[in-house]
Structure 1
Amino acid sequence: MPKLYTSRFSNKELNTGEYTVVGVVRSMPRFPTKYRISGDIRQIAPPGYLWNENDRARFREPYFKHLEKTGYPVIGAIIQEYLNEGKDVVLCCYEDVRKPDEWCHRLVFAEWWYEKTGQKIEELPDPSPNPGEKQRKKEEKKREEQDSGYEQLSFMSDLYRTTYPHYNT
């Protein structure tokens, strides 16, 4: 039985051709894709007045109200048409939610869908390097250095200390 996922249009996993890719946006990608985009469910795209809302908690309630205007029966029927094609369906927009503190409407839609159906929508695994991983490793290294008492000094600060040992930096 086909599954429903969310993802971003730039996810390289979509290039496999194993998915029915469907936009949930107001504007489809202008960049070329190596996969076919089967359609767009504009009813899931957030309305313009929510575009600049960066607080997920403040976004949620008005977005849910927006979805309710169309309603689960209509949105569910549209999604079911794509699922009937026999492949897993991926609802796509643009944000890379792997970045720290990043979220988007597709994740909030997944919450709404779960409330309506009891079905969880997972984010499609993305094989590209995780942009949040580099930041996480950097913070982890800094914590380890602080815990060990080790301090990474630059060449210039070492040179300055050597040249002017009486100067306390």
Structure 2
Amino acid sequence: MTTLELATCTYQEFTPDMGTPVRSTAGHPRFPLAYQLGGHAKLITPTRDLLKINARDAYEFGYRRLLNGNGLDNIRRELARIAAASPVDGPLVLLCFDRFDKLSPPDDWCHRSMFARWYTEQTGDEVPELGSRPRTAPPTLF
């Protein structure tokens, strides 16, 4: 299978020059988008039951179980279909709501970052984050 170019971002930070915006969330955005979505990556969308889990380890365990159950080949086929239907060059940008620079405490526990790690482990292909980075502690002086 050809290599898919993937990236992740938030709905709020996405701009059309980044690539094809792809929904990866259980719910639709409840705010107007300045762009049209190129599709919905259903096989990587967390279930409503997963969204009820507040503990990172338990969530990631359940989410990876979902990804493994759906299978890398099926996920890649779904994403390839979305990419083939897109008139835009560039990566499929998997979108969700969580801005990493707004989470408190700063953390990257979001399904899109978990998917990116899982996908890289499975394929060796990096999935860059295009949105804001997690806040870092200010440098200490002496």
What's the TM-score once normalised by structure 2's chain length? Answer: 0.79
CA contact (8 A) 2:8 2:131 kept: no
Q: What residue identity is the alignment partner of 2:101?
A: R
Q: 1:52 to 1:27 in 2, by over 3 A?
A: same
Aligned match of 2:58? 58
Aligned residues: 134
Matched, 1:93 2:99: no
Instruction: With a CA cutoff of 8 Å and minimum separation of 6, indicate the structure with the bigger relative contact order.
Output: 2
Shift of 1:52: 3.1
C-alpha distance in structure 2 between counterparts of 1:9 and 1:22, whole Å: 9
- Whether the aligned pair in 2 keeps the contact of 1:44 and 1:109 (CA below 8 Å) is yes
The aligned residue for residue 127 of structure 2 is: 121
Find the aligned partners of 1:67 and 1:18 in 2 and give their Cα distance. 25
Q: Secondary structure at the match of 2:94?
A: strand
Gaps of 5+ in 1: 148-169
| In structure 2, C-alpha distance between the alignment counterparts of 1:76 and 1:15, rounded to whole Å | 24
Deviation digits for residues 123-144 of structure 1 (CA, Å, limit 9, x no counterpart): 0144xxx7836xx44xx5xx54
CA distance, structure 2, for counterparts of residue 50 and residue 125 of structure 1: 23
Contact 1:3 1:83 in 2 (8 A): no
- Kept in 2, the 8 Å contact 1:44–1:67? The answer is yes
Query: How far apart, CA to CA, are the structure 2 residues paired with 1:123 and 1:131?
Result: 11
CA deviations on 1:16-75 (whole Å, 9 max, x unpaired) are 445210010111112111111111112212122221333332222221111122211111
CA displacement, residues 83-108 of structure 1 (integer Å, 9 cap, x when unaligned): 33333210001000234124200111
Amino acid at match of 1:51: L
Secondary structure of the equivalent of 1:132? Answer: coil
Q: Residue 6 of structure 2 aligns with which residue? A: 4
Larger Rg: 1
Identical aligned residues as a percent: 28
Residue 98 of structure 2 contacts residue 110 of structure 2 at CA under 8 Å; is this kept in 1? yes
Structure 2 segments unaligned to the other structure (5+ residues): none
Equivalent position amino acid for 1:23 in 2: R
